[in-house]
Structure 1
Amino acid sequence: MEVLLNAPNATGRIEIDAAPEAVYSLVSDPGQLAGLAEEYAGHRWVGGACEPAVGAKFRGRNRRGFRRWSTLSTITDAEPGRRFGFEVTSVAGLPVARWQYDFEPARDGCVVVESMWERRPAWFEVATSTVTGVWDREQANTANIAATLARLKRAAEASR
């Protein structure tokens, strides 16, 4: 598990009336997560991976309007009901971001905190902004996180 000393660039939290393990299973499955996320649209496992585990990699398909791009993610944290995290790189191997979901038990279920840490070098931000159409990534990801967490809550509570 990576220890992060700096604050995330974007974060959000929501209380969900479902067990942390059940909610974890939704976000740790890249296929399920694609149905909940704002820009992330799908995946394929790479390097022989077939399930979420530390070290597993998946190629992410992303979209925003008519724009499309691909990333490579490496799972760094896979603790059911506690934390799921992954590092994202560009297709050229340049760092992009870290995404993390933390789960805390709550009275009627759990609290989920979704966070993103920007990893792109400053010079790379212009190139990725042109590809994605997002010029203020922190603002966009704060809104994306809120939308993702609202969908996660609906999906988790509907499946109870």
Structure 2
Amino acid sequence: MGRVMQISDSVVIRADAQSIWEQVADPQQMPRWSPENTSARTQSPVRPLEVGEVFEGSNRRGPATWVTECVVIESEPGRRFAFTVRRIGPRSPVLQGGIATWSYELEDLGSETRVTETWTDDRRKWPDWTAWLFDRIVTRGRSFADFQRLNVHRTLMAMKDDFEAGR
């Protein structure tokens, strides 16, 4: 059986889609919700980010830290924000290649919004056995899909708590 290359989860948040999009499309907000992202730097002071803009994300998992370079591939007000991770490295994003794509779909439900977060594994050129071994080392025994399933759920629950607290 091949690897799972994509996972998604959704949550309904008592907030309007435009307000959620404005914050999701500003990567500097992600540390509020993500269990791994610790900061983001953008090249542009203007937020939310638009298609083609690049940002760097700093991340931590236990003692491990890494930096990613990401490019925005979709940014539709009140509806969708997506980016690809195209470089990664321990202190700066130097290793180039398909890493992952993250997307956030927003469905306006009136006074609420369904937010769907999707992680796609872009390591398509990696042989399954290489990915299997790498994943179990960096996630302490799980596949990346299983690991990201938990991260996505945690992120969405933190978003829900944050937005519904009136932040």
**TM-score (normalizing by structure 2):** 0.81
Contact 1:67 1:132 in 2 (8 A): no
Question: Please, which of 102, 107, 115 is the counterpart of residue 104 of structure 1?
Answer: 107
| Unpaired runs of at least 5, structure 1 | 1-6
Query: Shift of the alpha carbon at 1:108?
Result: 2.6
Contact 2:105 2:115 in 1 (8 A): yes
Matches of 2:39 and 2:140 in 1, distance apart? 19
Matches of 1:26 and 1:156 in 2, distance apart? 10
SS of 1:54's equivalent in the other structure is coil
- 1:151 equivalent to 2:148? Answer no
Contact 1:73 1:86 in 2 (8 A): yes
Contact 1:22 1:156 in 2 (8 A): no
Q: What is the aligned residue count?
A: 152
Bigger Cα Rg: 2
SS of 1:94's equivalent in the other structure is strand
Query: Shift of the alpha carbon at 1:107?
Result: 3.8
- 1:25 equivalent to 2:58? Answer no
Query: Shift of the alpha carbon at 1:34?
Result: 1.6
Instruction: Tell me which stretches of 4 or more aligned residues in structure 1 moved more than 6 Å.
Output: none
- Residues 1-56 of structure 1: CA distance to partner in whole angstroms, max 9, x if unpaired? xxxxxx961110000110001111221111111221121211112xx433311111
Cα pair distance change 1:134/1:62, threshold 3 Å: farther
Contact 2:14 2:164 in 1 (8 A): yes
| Unpaired runs of at least 5, structure 2 | none
Query: What is aligned with 1:122?
Result: 126
- 1:49 equivalent to 2:44? Answer yes
Contact 2:71 2:85 in 1 (8 A): yes
Q: Which moved more, 1:83-92 or 1:122-131?
A: 122-131
RMSD: 2.1
SS of 2:35's equivalent in the other structure is coil
Contact 1:69 1:131 in 2 (8 A): no
Contact 1:16 1:153 in 2 (8 A): yes
**Aligned AA (1:9):** Q
Matches of 1:44 and 1:133 in 2, distance apart? 29
SS of 1:55's equivalent in the other structure is coil
Contact 1:134 1:140 in 2 (8 A): no
What percent of counterpart residues are identical? 28
Matches of 1:109 and 1:80 in 2, distance apart? 16
Matches of 1:41 and 1:133 in 2, distance apart? 20
Where does 1:44-83 land on structure 2 (aligned, <5 Å)? 44-45=41-42, 48-50=43-45, 51=47, 52-83=49-80
